[in-house]
Structure 1
Amino acid sequence: MPRFSGNTVIITGSSNGIGRSAALLFAQDGANVTITGRNTERLEETRQLILKSGVSESHLNSVVADVTTSDGQDLLVKSTLDKFGKIHILVNNAGAAIPDPNGVFGTDQGVDIYHKTMHLNLQAVIEMTRKVKPHLMETKGEIVNVSSIVAGPQASPKSIYYATAKAALEQYTRSTAIDLIQHGIRVNLVRPGIVETGFMTAMGMPDEGAKKCYNFLADRKECIPVGVAGKPEDIANIILFLADRKLSSYIIGQSIVADGGSTLVMGMQSHNMMDIFKS
């Protein structure tokens, strides 16, 4: 029997990248899956990918919603319960480094960018956790949050607000893990390094430029010692591990770093990403 058979999972930010890969793996391993994102076309691509893998439509719930809005969050929870009856796993994957429209970085970014960044990367997680909590108490379920290596302890001067939000998410994960384990709910976190997703293109970089950056970093041992950029499934497999009570039952409130060794050297900080893009 598939290991997640009978379980229902909500995965935010599952219209591409890590979320899409996690949704596919959960569905192939027997779970009922709610996928969601703001982009209708990309979300449909995720849905079709899962269906073409042999998963039945009855195991899939596709919801176009903005997870930063109360209405969007409520729709995710209600539609999942309406279709599947229960919720066993919440994967808070949605997140992004929001670019300043003025093209500035670091301390020059506007405070409005700070608020948008915190809202998506932290506040939405807090709100989803609160709304799903009673349902996870009933099922003794799991929460897996997705952070980033920019959370520290190394500095991230080019992406201060994003790094701050992800660092706060890690403290939120540790604290909620202790608060919720008394109800039988486990909370853990994965901290990805450089992974080939739509992350850079979402910041306004064209696909060719993003590919150039990934290749540049992978070719330099001071950036990614393993010599390759990560793939979405590399992180998705860790998410499934943390959501599997049989395999990871004694892991509570922890962060698993998956970065090809980047945080051991952090040489990428010595390179200007914009210069790579322009080269």
Structure 2
Amino acid sequence: MTLPLRKPAPSWPCPKPPLPKPLPNPSPGLKPTATSDARPGPFAGRVAIVTGSESGIGRETARLLCAQGAAVVLNGRNAERLEHTRRTLAEAGFAVASCVADVTDYAACEQLVKTTVEAFGRLDILVTNASISQRAYFADMQPEVFKQVLDSNVYGSVFPLKAALPQLLKSRGSVTFISSISALNGMPSGSAYCAGKAAVANLAHTLRLELAGTGVHFGVVHIGFTQNDPEKRVLAADGQPVPIAHRPPRWQKSQAEVAAIILEHIRRRRQRTVISALGQLIVLVHTYFPRLGDWVVRTTMRRMRHFYE
């Protein structure tokens, strides 16, 4: 997904697979949304926040949640792009609202949750998708750039969850952190990004232990290489926006394919989903043959520098 890369001042206007587990019943006293019976689907009557949903994977995840019955609150920092996405989904007949909010600002996240409850009366699903990526080696990165990338990936998940947790406890809801296959074994030129994505995976594990028995689902989706919007940019070592590094098209999934996997993860309330055969291979090699995995990465650094730089 695409986010403005320079942080503005906080602003907001507002064998056979097993059968899926049913979504849990909310706590007594939680009223259904006004759109509960408007559109049938596995998420009918549920309300979701998808951060970073003005574009990219977040937008497609929001679109699919709407198509499967949910009411969705969109989020981003670019007001014009966010409104365009909201209007497009609303014109398709979906129940949507939006809130401009920098998710690395806790007060903005509180406003995001407030907007959701005011619009739809409750909150059942949180997808923390907003983040900034990078294309820079650690030795070259300015400290403030490293911090910006790390903050977007860590606090950009922690703050929305912290603000939303009381509502999610009421609804016995679902939290999905969007991570990356690069968090599974690290990736050159992605130090801050990899560290942040690994952090949210461990956060999810900790929360499952701390909040066991509450009925809240905490899961992580490790996304692989995905087709990006043409305007997508990441941070260079000096903080300037640059195109992402080369990715062979045959390795990429479409945004719609990734969104469908995310929704299946939420519906089945899985703890972890690793997307793509490459991601599964990384898990296997990292677990059982870590030295082989490091050798492969070092080899590609020499022979496929455009893959990282």
Instruction: Give the TM-score of the pair, scaled to structure 2.
Output: 0.74
Give 2:262's aligned residue. 239
Q: How does 1:1-279 map to 2 (within 5 A)?
A: 1-55=40-94, 59-98=95-134, 104-153=136-185, 155-198=186-229, 201-203=232-234, 204-205=241-242, 213-214=246-247, 217-218=248-249, 227-244=250-267, 248-249=268-269, 251=270, 254-261=271-278, 264=281, 269-270=300-301, 271-273=304-306
Deviations 1:104-148 (A, max 9, x none): 522221221222122110122112212111111111100011001
Deviations 1:79-107 (A, max 9, x none): 101111110000000012146xxxx5222
Residue 176 of structure 2 aligns with an amino acid whose one-letter code is V
Is the 8 Å Cα contact of residues 96 and 199 (structure 1) preserved in structure 2? no
Q: CA RMSD in A?
A: 2.3
Q: Point out the structure with the larger helix share.
A: 1
Deviations 1:136-162 (A, max 9, x none): 111110001100111022x31211111
Counterparts in 2 of 1:108 and 1:213: CA distance versus 1, 3 Å: closer
Counterparts in 2 of 1:262 and 1:242: CA distance versus 1, 3 Å: closer
Is the 8 Å Cα contact of residues 98 and 116 (structure 1) preserved in structure 2? no
Residue 20 of structure 1 aligns with an amino acid whose one-letter code is R
Give the Cα separation in 1 of the matches to 2:108 and 2:308.
38
Is the 8 Å Cα contact of residues 28 and 53 (structure 1) preserved in structure 2? no
Residue 139 of structure 2 aligns with an amino acid whose one-letter code is T
How many equivalent pairs are there? 248
Q: How many Å apart are 1:274 and its aligned residue?
A: 7.0
What residue ranges of structure 2 are gaps of 5+ in the alignment?
Answer: 1-39, 235-240, 283-292
State the SS of the aligned residue for 2:130.
Answer: coil
Counterparts in 2 of 1:275 and 1:166: CA distance versus 1, 3 Å: closer
Give the Cα separation in 2 of the matches to 1:151 and 1:127.
20
Is the 8 Å Cα contact of residues 106 and 160 (structure 2) preserved in structure 1? no
Give the Cα separation in 1 of the matches to 2:192 and 2:118.
37
Q: How many Å apart are 1:201 and its aligned residue?
A: 2.7
Give 1:221's aligned residue. none
What residue ranges of structure 1 are gaps of 5+ in the alignment?
Answer: 219-226
Q: How many Å apart are 1:53 and its aligned residue?
A: 2.7
Instruction: Give the TM-score of the pair, scaled to structure 1.
Output: 0.81
Residue 180 of structure 2 aligns with an amino acid whose one-letter code is S
